[in-house]
Amino acid sequence: MKKLDEVVKFHGHICPGLVLGYRVSVFALKNLGKRAKDEEIVAIVENNSCAVDAVQVMTGCTFGKGNLIFNDYGKQVYTFIKRPIAKALRISIDWTPPHEIEKEKEMWKSYMRGNRSKTVLKAIHQRKTKKIDSILKAKDKDLFKIEYVKVPLPEEAKIYPSIRCEICKEDVMETRLRVKDGKMVCIPCFKGEH
């Protein structure tokens, strides 16, 4: 199994969201088996947070292989499906961050307004570290709501031929072509954006 430092290297820095994704992935792999080399595991993620980078590194689910599905719901929910048996595990984050005193909250607000002074950055670093430590030390039951669910098994990834757009002359996946003024065009050209 991949280690947290490999996830951090891929993402570029450590943060609470990344560590949550790491913990989600570790739990999923313990319950579903090894990291996907191809499409043995499918991940359906309901957000585009830092956590999804950890899911990719840990589980081997990626957009390129077609076994990472993004539903833009803005929820910290991750569903993992094992092929071919369609065993599915839905994990939602159910974690309470460590209590923050008023000064910590004010420092966060100041940071969000663009203040990058040494004092504010030090406070933000300490805040992140406290959250990361809490996530890493927490028991699974204190981090997640876990359900074994039945979901339709997503189709395996398909490879479609590329066709040249008749306007911009760039290759586009056949299934994404549109017809505009009798020409086969890409979506940006169809919308007049290219």
Q: What is the pLDDT of residue 144?
A: 97
Q: What is the pLDDT of residue 157?
A: 81
* pLDDT tens per residue across span 162-186: 999 999 999 999 999 999 999 999 9
* pLDDT tens per residue across span 46-87: 999 999 999 999 999 999 999 999 999 999 999 999 998 888
| Structure-model confidence comparison of residues 158 and 47, the more confident one | 47
Closest residue by Cα to residue 94 from 144, 146, 19, 137:
144
Give percent of the chain with pLDDT exceeding 90.
Answer: 90
Q: Where in the chain is the domain with CATH 3.30.60?
A: 162-191
Confidence at 35, pLDDT banded by 50, 70, 90:
very high
Q: Where in the chain is the domain with CATH 3.30.1330.20?
A: 4-95+138-149
What's the CATH number for 162-191? Answer: 3.30.60
CA gap 56, 132 in Å, rounded: 19
Beta-carbon-side half-sphere exposure of residue 110 (alpha carbons within 13 Å)? 16
Q: What is the pLDDT of residue 87?
A: 87
Q: What is the pLDDT of residue 172?
A: 96
Q: Is the peptide bond before 84 cis (omega within 30 degrees of 0)?
A: yes
Token reading at 13: 């820095």
Does 3.30.1330.20 match the CATH number of domain 4-95+138-149?
Answer: yes
Q: What is the average pLDDT across 26-48?
A: 95
CA gap 35, 69 in Å, rounded: 16
Beta-carbon-side half-sphere exposure of residue 179 (alpha carbons within 13 Å)? 1
Q: What is the average pLDDT across 152-156?
A: 83
Q: What is the pLDDT of residue 1?
A: 66
Closest residue by Cα to residue 47 from 83, 7, 20:
20
Confidence at 148, pLDDT banded by 50, 70, 90:
very high
**Helix axis angle, 51-59 to 4-11, nearest 10°:** 120
Q: What is the average pLDDT across 128-150?
A: 96
Range scoring the smallest mean pLDDT among 46-50, 104-108, 154-158, 164-168: 154-158
Token reading at 33: 């088996």
